[in-house]
Amino acid sequence: MISIAIDGPSGAGKSTLAKRLAKQLGYIYVDTGAMYRAIGLYALQHGIDVKNETAVQATLADICIGLKHEDDGQHVYLNKKDVSDAIREEKVGMAASAVSAHPTVRAYLLEAQRGMAMAADVLMDGRDIGTVVLPDATVKIFLTASSKARAQRRYKELCEKGQTIDFDTVLADIEQRDYNDTHRAAAPLKQAEDAILVDTSDLNFEESFEKLLDLIKTHAK
Ligand code: DC
């Protein structure tokens, strides 16, 4: 089986690029952030303190996450309900960041993620794919961009969706999330020693796509 691991901070363009690369290469796209977001959403919906590991752990038995590939792209299901849009809200992103710090949550998702990589050729994106989930991945990429460049992209995306939010809030959220993701004790965000670093601060989508496709084609032989 071929497995491509793409890790990096929030807003580096991982999921948009990963989706398109997986399609082009014919691999299954696994959005691991969506899995953490689904757990974060469930906790928010049930009034559970996302920082309380025991409380979050107790919900795992009641949570069933489905990633389905449909004609219009990947859909995320939480207990059979389509939550693809709901999990993209800023507050759910923060909740996902909090629940992802709990080792029990990570262990629960790790098993599911490894199972997916054993069943098909996958392109998996997240924070710890190259370091923890798939240490023997065929190709590892660490995709990053400056926090300002990432906040600008995110701000544009939110404005296009009609959400009213100011740029400084978006930048502060990104920086807070970076801090949480890199400073947690369990599987913090870090570049695997054998990952290829790609900085997209000065690249547009097409340029980033071509660069990654080329890297994967060269290394996944
Ligand atoms: O990539 P994203 O923004 O959808 O991820 C949401 C949160 O989930 C992010 O703050 C960190 C966490 N996450 C993680 O800890 N490990 C992963 N493999 C993927 C995401």
**14: CATH:** 3.40.50.300
Residue 141: inside a domain: yes
What is residue 180's predicted lDDT score, i.e. its pLDDT? 87
What is residue 177's predicted lDDT score, i.e. its pLDDT? 87
Q: Which residue has the CA at smallest separation from atom 9 of ligand 1? A: 97
Q: Which residue has the CA at smallest separation from atom 3 of ligand 1? A: 10
Model pLDDT for residues 142-179, shown as the tens digit of each residue: 999 999 999 999 999 889 989 888 999 999 999 998 99
Residue 127: inside a domain: yes
Mean local confidence (pLDDT), 10-16: 88
Helix axes 167-183, 147-160, angle to 10 degrees: 130
Mean local confidence (pLDDT), 10-14: 88
Q: How far is CA 138 from CA 2, 33, 108, 175, 221, in A?
A: 6, 21, 24, 30, 9
Residue 168: inside a domain: yes
Q: Are strands 28-31 and 122-126 parallel, antiparallel or unpaired?
A: parallel
Q: What residue ranges line ligand 1, CB within 6 angstroms? A: 10, 32-33, 36-37, 93, 96-97, 100, 126-129, 177, 181
Residue for token digits 């960041």? 97
CA distance 19 to 169: 27
What is residue 201's predicted lDDT score, i.e. its pLDDT? 95
Kindly report the average pLDDT of the chain as a whole number. Answer: 94
CA distance 117 to 115: 5
Q: How confident is the model at residue 116 (pLDDT cuts 50, 70, 90)?
A: very high
Residue 221: inside a domain: no
Residue 95: inside a domain: yes
Instruction: Calculate how far, in angstroms, residue 169's C-alpha sits from the geometric centre of ligand 1.
Output: 19
Main-chain phi, psi angles of 124, to 5 degrees: -115, 130
What is residue 99's predicted lDDT score, i.e. its pLDDT? 96
What is residue 62's predicted lDDT score, i.e. its pLDDT? 96
Model pLDDT for residues 177-218, shown as the tens digit of each residue: 899 889 988 888 999 999 999 999 999 999 999 999 999 999
What is residue 24's predicted lDDT score, i.e. its pLDDT? 94
**Ligand 1 site-directed mutation target among 3, 41, 50, 97, most atoms within 8 Å of CB:** 97
Q: Are 181 and 127 in contact (CB under 8 A)?
A: yes
Residue for token digits 């924070």? 127
Q: How confident is the model at residue 106 (pLDDT cuts 50, 70, 90)?
A: very high
Q: How confident is the model at residue 72 (pLDDT cuts 50, 70, 90)?
A: confident
What is residue 57's predicted lDDT score, i.e. its pLDDT? 98
Q: How many domains is the chain built from? A: 1
What range does the domain containing 43 cover? 3-216
What is residue 100's predicted lDDT score, i.e. its pLDDT? 94
CA distance 45 to 63: 12
What is residue 48's predicted lDDT score, i.e. its pLDDT? 98
Residue 81: inside a domain: yes
Residue 187: inside a domain: yes
Q: Given a cut of 80, is residue 221 above it in pLDDT?
A: no
% of the chain surpassing 90 pLDDT? 84
Contacts of 98 (CB under 8 A, 6+ apart): 40, 50, 51, 180
